Structure 1
Amino acid sequence: MIQTVIFDMDGVIVDTEPVHHYAYNQHFKQLGIEVSPEMYASFTGNSTKNIFERLKAQFNLKEDVPALVETKRNLFNEAFDRKADLYLLDGVENLIKDLYANGMQLVLASSSATVTIAKIFDRFGLHPYFSHIVSGEDFPKSKPHPAIFQHAAFLAQTPVENCIVIEDSTNGILAAKAAGIYCIGYDSFHSKMQDYSQADMVISNFSELSYNFIKNIR
C-alpha cells in the first residue's frame, strides 16, 4: 500500500518554466552564448548548479559556477515577483488536499533551490501539506541520479516500494526508477520534449488521480 507521495514541483505543482526560461535567456544574452532548444530541454529536472557546470564546460565560460548561479537566481526572483499570473496547475491543489485529508504523507523533491521552493510554497500556502521538502541544490548530482528521491523516502521513513513519485521530466522519471520507486509521469501541455516511456503510468490531468486510486497502486 502506498504511504508516501513524492512530488516534483516545477511542471507538476506550478508552471514556473516561463519564468525560468526568461531568466536563463536573459543570462545567456549577458554571457553572449546561444543554447539550442534541444540542449535547453535536456536541462529539465537538473539543478541550476549542475546546469551551469555543463554550460561552463560547453562554452568555456570564465565566470565561476556559484557566481553564474547567483546571477540567474536573481533574474528569476525579480521576474517571479513581477509575475501576477502564476497559478497552481489544474487539479493539483485538489489532489494534494485529498491525499493529505486521507493521511497520505506528502514530500516535495525538487531540483529547484531552497529559496525558490520557499517562494512557491509561501505564495500558495503549501507548507501545511508537506512533511518534508528536499532541494536538489543539496546534492552533488542532479536527476537522473536517484539521490534526491532516495533521501526523500528516507526522510519519510517509508520503504521505496510504498512510495510513488509524480514527475514531468525525463530526468525525473529516470531518477525515480533508479531509486526503485513507482513513477507517474505527468504529461501536460506545458511539457516540452520530454520522454515518458520509462514511467509506470502516464497522466495528462490530475483529475485522473485520487487518494483511493493511489493507495492501491501496488
Structure 2
Amino acid sequence: MVNAVIFDMDGVVVNTEPVGLEANQKFYKELGIEVTDEIYSDFIGNSDKNIIQKLRSRFNLEQSEEVLLEESYKYYFDAFDTSDELELIPGVKDLIIDLYNNGMTLVLASSAAKRKIEAVFTRFDLHQYFKTKISGEDFEYSKPNPAIFDEAVKQTGFPKEECIIIEDSTNGIKAATGAGVFCIGYKGEHSMGQDTSLANKVITDFKQLDYKTIKNLI
C-alpha cells in the first residue's frame, strides 16, 4: 500500500521547457557554443551544476563553474519572470490536492536548484502540499544516480516499498529504478523523446491517476 509520493518537478509538475529553452539558447549564444538537440536531451534530469560541468568539459570553457552557473541563472530568471507560457502540467495540481487531502505524504525531489524550486512553488502556490523539497544541487551526482531518491524516501518516513516516484525523464526513471522504488513514467507532449520503458507504469495524462488508484498501486 502506498503512503508517500515523490514528485520530480520539471516536466512533471511544471512545464519549464519554454523558459529553459529561451534562457539556454541565449546563454549558449553568449558562450559561442552550439548545443545540439541530442546533447540537450541528455541534460534532462541533470542538476544545473552537472550540466555546467558537462558543458565545460565538452566545449573546453575557460570560465569557472561558479561563474557559468550564475550566468545561466541570470538568463533563466529573466525568462522566468517575464514568461506568460510557464504553466503547470495539466491535471497535476488536482492530483496533488487530492493526494494531500487524503493524507498522502508528498515530497519533491528535483534536479533543479533550490532557487528554481522556490520560484515555481511560490508562483503556483504549492508549498503547503509538500512535506519537504529536495534539490539536486545538494548531491555530488545527478540522476541517473539514485542518491536524491534514496534521500527522498528517507524524508517521507516510510519504507521504499510504500513509496512511488513520478518521473518523466530517462535519467530520472533510471534513478528511481536504481533506488528500488516503484516508478510512474509520465509521457507528455513535452517529453522531448525521453525513454519511459523502464518505468513500472506509464501514463500520458494525470487524469489517469487519483488517490485511490495510487494508494493501491503496489
Same amino acid, percent of matched pairs: 52
* CA–CA distance in structure 1, aligned partners of residues 167 and 66 of structure 2: 27
Decide whether the 8 Å contact of 2:18 with 2:86 is kept in 1: no
- What secondary structure sits across from 2:166 in the alignment? strand
Question: Per-residue displacement from partner, 1:151-193 (whole Å, max 9, x unpaired)?
Answer: 0111111111111000010000000010000000000001102
* Aligned partner of residue 109 in structure 1, secondary structure: strand
1:194 is matched with 194
Aligned to 2:67: 67
Equivalent in the alignment of 1:216: 216
Give the root-mean-square deviation of aligned CA atoms: 0.7
Which residue type is aligned with residue 99 of structure 1? L
Superposed displacement of residue 35, structure 1: 0.9
Structure 1: stretches of 5+ with no match in the other structure: none
Aligned counterparts, 1:142-181, within 5 A: 142-181=142-181
1:85 offset after TM fit, Å?
A: 3.1
* Secondary structure of 2:88's aligned partner: coil
CA distance in 2, matches of 1:9, 1:51: 17
TM norm structure 2: 0.99
Residue number in structure 1 paired with 2:10: 10
Q: TM-score, normalised by structure 1?
A: 0.99
Aligned to 2:22: 22
Work out the CA distance in 1 between the residues paired with 2:85 and 2:38.
27
Give the number of equivalent residue pairs.
Answer: 218
**Does residue 136 of the first structure (1) align with residue 155 of the second (2)?**
no
Q: Which runs of 4 or more aligned residues in structure 1 lie more than 6 Å from their structure 2 counterparts after TM superposition?
A: none
Distance 1:74 1:215 in 2: 41
Q: Which residue of 2 aligns with 1:113?
A: 113
Letter in 2 for 1:167: E
Aligned counterparts of 2:9 and 2:153: Cα–Cα separation in 1: 16
- State the 1:87 CA deviation: 1.8
Residues 67-113 of structure 1, C-alpha deviation per residue, up to 9 Å, x if partnerless? 11110011101110001232211100110010001000000000100
Q: Which runs of 5+ in 2 are unaligned?
A: none
2:91 aligns to what? 91
- Give the SS at the match of 1:207: helix
Q: Is the Cα–Cα contact under 8 Å of residues 8 and 166 in structure 2 kept in the other structure?
A: yes
d(CA) in 1 for partners of 2:208 and 2:9? 18
